[in-house]
Structure 1
Amino acid sequence: MDGNRLVGTLGAHVRTWRPYTIWYPGLVGLAGATLAAEPRANAALLAAWFAPTAVWVAAHYLGDYLDRHLDAISKPQRPIPSGRMAPRTALLCGTLLAAAGCAAALAVNWRTILLLAVGIGGALAYNGLFKARGLWGNVVRGALTGAAFAFGTMMTVDFPPVGLLPFVVVFWAHDAASNVVGTLRDVAGDREGGYATFAVRRGLRTAGRTAAALYGLALVTAAFGCLAVPRDRAICLLVVLLAGAVGSTAFGLVLGPRRELTPRTALRAHEVLVAERIVLADALLVPGLGPALALGILVPLLVLTLGVQHRMRSGHEFAPDGQAATAR
């Protein structure tokens, strides 16, 4: 394989990973592990981070495989429809990563097998079935991140503690909201491809308001949850409120007074939520790891997320002028 082809192949895989999202699922799993028990083995913390991350990236590969015909219509620049990645390569990589995540998890706690099955099966069902069925798709997508938090707790205890279950609701509602906002930029392509998302069925304004309501549920639940953590409650709550202040700007873009919500404005709103959720997940690291270490994790990951998103996101979501029309 020559140098240019190798660079192109690596670039196709990196784009499939969506590296601006890659830090989030591991933080969610790590938050669950650190809140559930102390002391904790390093291997358990590593598994709490690695397994959700591996399954998350696997879901990107498998989702792109299942969405390849839809992407050929509205996003022909993506790796599979552009020909830079073969569909079977995406299927193989997704399968191997999912297997690696499962192996790491089961080595620590075999009881996670049900959550792993729900997570992987839910990711496949989202792309293959629920994504085209209105709000059900967003609810299923959010449930996967809620499951990642529950999974993280099971890396340090046998079963998720009842007192931490409200945080499952936090990540479920947050990611359902974020997923609704993410669909707002794709309404034209989803409609053309036959995907009846909630935004396609009910319109941008109703979808935006529904996302805001789900986001509000996540934020309020997180704020009350901070009052029950074992230590550093005030700092945990402060970081949650900081996340809320950032997230509110996204919904200002979505619901602000304007005649029409453009796809690029909707993308900017989702970019804000992609960065904001790093802050939200990090807030729950404060009680378990302490404010200094939690901040030390947050700053570099937030900088990486913002930088990579600025460099890659628009090109991943929008085809160059005329290219989508040519594909259609």
Structure 2
Amino acid sequence: MTADVPTLRTDPAAGTRRRGERLTAHWQTWRPYTTCHPALLGLAGAMVAGGGSAAGIAVAVLAPVLGWLAGHYLGDYFDRDLDAIAKPHRPIPSGRLGARTALVCGIACAAASLLATTLVNWRILPVFACAFAGIVTYSLVFKQRGLAGNVNRGALSALATVVGAMAVAPWPSWALLPVALGFGLHDTASNLIGTVRDVDGDRAGGYRSVPVRHGTTTAVRLAAVLWAAAVVAIGAGALAAERPVPQLAGLAVAVLAGGYAFAVVRPGSVTRRRALRSHEVLVAERMVLAGAVVAGAAGPALAVAVVLPALVVSLFMQARMRARHEFPAGAGDGEDTP
């Protein structure tokens, strides 16, 4: 008689589950509720530059999105030790996404963005180099140094509008300056609200963010000032727009939404969940702001056609994913005051 030889059996269902978990981890890393924003920034830059060919506009929209995804992958890679303390449920610290995989995916997205932009305009190379340096140094250097990290993130949004403009024109026009400045200020403000949400984890990880060093009330007030300056800059940009009235009308809608966002975190009522809610509103409001610029440059019909579906997608994805991405399961209601 021959001895039975044990055979290794694989479980197809287990393999399918693991693949599903990996795909979900990538999806969560993308933060799809934010990716419409860089697309609209690129489109706004392209429209202020006068529009262009279909290929140029496609690059203006796609390249900032690829850069945004690169930032998410690389940011999560560099922040993996901090996330292990504050957000262990996220893809890398939970083990659902390998750190090396995130690094490779981030580099691949950046390379694809670089290839697309240089094919349409090689002059974008210095702008791209600045953007990529900003992505890397945000987590490695500036994020733990207070306001410098918030300004770094704002600068990336400003550069996205420049990339969009240069995808359809050799050089950006002076009309883009107040627009780029406005989006830079706005995303500095919204990133600052994000640090209010993350104050406990940043403090535990040794990150000296503005709310860690100066308190959440100071951080919110500074964010409100930066947001107001952004509104003024975009309003000033309407003076150079082809259609100033639609741009100002869109700006008015954004002001109402932004005002609500800061009312949510008014002094004396700041909690982690309220900071998250405020940031969610600002994520939607900044798309309206980009739509206002598109309306001023190319007309309200195009602005509504692109912004309305972007808002629907973003709001739906935020409702489905946002809180679970920011707070671990069983973390409580988050209504404690930071």
Structure 1: gaps spanning 5 or more residues:
324-328
* CA distance in 2: counterparts of 1:279 and 1:287, whole angstroms: 12
The answer as to whether partners of 2:142 and 2:152 remain within 8 angstroms in 1 is yes
Asked if 1:18 is matched to 2:27, the reply is: no
Asked whether 1:276 is paired with 2:285, we answer yes
Q: Distance in 2 between matches of 1:245 and 1:224?
A: 18
Contact 2:245–2:296 (Cα < 8 Å) also in 1? no
**Structure 2: how far apart are the matches of 1:130 and 1:195?**
10
Amino acid at match of 2:320: R
Is 1:304 aligned to residue 313 of structure 2? Answer: yes
Two-structure CA RMSD over aligned residues (Å): 1.2
Contact 1:223 1:241 (C-alpha < 8 Å) held by counterparts: no
Q: Which runs of 4+ in 1 moved over 4 A?
A: none
1:249 aligns with 2:240: no
The answer (yes or no) to whether the contact 2:246–2:299 under 8 Å persists in 1 is no
Q: Secondary structure at the match of 1:33?
A: helix
Does structure 2 retain, via aligned residues, the 8 Å contact 1:150–1:165?
A: no
Instruction: Tell me if 1:3 matches 2:12.
Output: no
Match of 2:265, SS?
Answer: helix
Residue equivalent to 2:75: 63
Identity %: 47
Flag structure 2 segments of 5+ consecutive residues without an equivalent. 1-11, 333-338
Query: Match for 2:31: what amino acid?
Result: R
Distance in 2 (CA, whole Å) between partners of 1:255 and 1:118 is: 35
Kept after mapping to 1: 8 A contact 2:46/2:57: yes
Which letter does structure 1 place at the counterpart of 2:108? L
CA deviation after TM superposition for structure 1 residue 299, in Å: 1.1
Aligned counterpart, 1:41:
53
Is the contact made by 1:126 and 1:140 (CA closer than 8 Å) also made in structure 2? Answer: yes
SS at match of 2:221: helix
Q: TM-score, normalised on structure 2? A: 0.92
Q: Which residue does 1:174 correspond to in 2?
A: 186
How many residue pairs match? The answer is 319
> How far apart are the structure 1 equivalents of 2:298 and 2:20?
39
Q: Given that residues 36 and 153 in structure 1 are in contact (C-alpha distance below 8 angstroms), is that contact kept between their aligned partners in structure 2?
A: yes
Aligned to 2:215: 203
Q: In the alignment, which residue of structure 1 is the partner of 2:294? A: 285
Which of the numbers 305, 318, 330 marks the counterpart of 1:321?
330
Q: Distance in 2 between matches of 1:162 and 1:204?
A: 36
Asked whether 1:263 is paired with 2:272, we answer yes
Q: Is the 8 A contact 1:32 1:149 kept in 2?
A: yes
Q: Distance in 2 between matches of 1:141 and 1:273?
A: 15
Structure 1 letter corresponding to 2:198: D
Aligned to 1:80: 92
Instruction: Encode CA deviations 1:94-128: one digit per residue, 9 max, x unaligned.
Output: 00000000000000000100110111110110111
Return the offset for 1:227. 2.2
- Deviation of 1:296 (Å): 1.2
Question: TM-score, length-normalised on structure 1?
Answer: 0.95
Higher relative CO (Cα under 8 Å, sequence separation at least 6) belongs to 1
Q: Secondary structure at the match of 2:240?
A: coil
